Amino acid sequence: MTTLLGWLAGVALVAGLVMGFGVAPREVSQGNVQRIMYVHVPAVWVAYLAFAVGLAASIAYLAGRRPGADRLAHATCEVGTVFLGINIATGAIWGKPTWGTWWTWDARLTSVAVVFVMFLAYLLLRGAIEDRERGARYAAVLGIVAALNIPLVHFSVYWWRTLHQPPSLLKPGASTMPPVILTALLVNFAALALLGAYFVARRTRVLAAEDEALA
């Protein structure tokens, strides 16, 4: 099952690359550098999807104490952090030619960076507690706090940057997004989501095996 998922992801990734480089047109205002968006934007969507699943798994663990729920929470938060890292890195690389700088404290970059650090802290907590069961409990609590905090972070950062200040950048592919670009984004999102699901599946398998081995 997991292997099938892996192959599906591989195929979808190829399809995504074809869409992003072959089918999607050269963007009018930004040029071909806009193609970075086809990995940058789906990455953050996958990350937040992963964190949402992580939130559900954390709550499920606290409710039922099934170790499978804890493993799922661990894996999804870890994979989500990886994809968020990809989002930040590709965003910076896109930003350099477009804005002239690697980093800027605009609303989206800042809020993603904060969420990234929050979940890095989650992974740190996981690593710091040796007791298996306590680690699961504490991580579940932190996972819930962190996930619920995401909208608060977004609103606070967005208001911080945009109120009394004109928005300094246009969103890529803003109000009038040609359908082909949207399709390319969605195909890449599906590809990265499948890849993320594949990673989560393998990660939970490893975690389960580790549990067995250390039992």
Q: Which residues in 28-67 contact other proteins (CB under 8 A)?
A: 29-33, 35-36, 39-40, 43, 62, 65-67
Q: Which is nearer to other proteins, 76 or 90 (CB)?
A: 90
Which of 52, 160, 169, 186 binds other proteins (CB under 8 A)? It is 160
Q: Which residues in 10-29 contact other proteins (CB under 8 A)?
A: 26, 29
Q: Give the H/E segment covering residue 37.
A: helix 37-64
Rg, Å, the chain Cα set: 19
CA distance 17 to 20: 5
Which amino acid type is present at position 176?
T
Length of the chain: 215
* Interface mask toward other proteins for 176-195; x: CB under 8 A: -------------------x
Residue 101 Ramachandran class (φ > 0 left, ψ -120 to 50 alpha, else beta): beta
Q: What is the total count of residues that contact other proteins (CB under 8 A)?
A: 74
Closest CA to 119 of 72, 85, 157, 90: 85
CB of 175 to other proteins, least distance (A): 19
* Interface mask toward other proteins for 107-146; x: CB under 8 A: -------x--xx--x--xx--xx--xxx-xxx-xxx-xxx
Which of 48, 51, 94, 189 binds other proteins (CB under 8 A)? It is 94
Q: Which is nearer to other proteins, 56 or 125 (CB)?
A: 125
Closest CA to 143 of 125, 159, 128: 125
Tokens (6 digits) for 162: 């945009």
Q: Which is nearer to other proteins, 149 or 186 (CB)?
A: 149
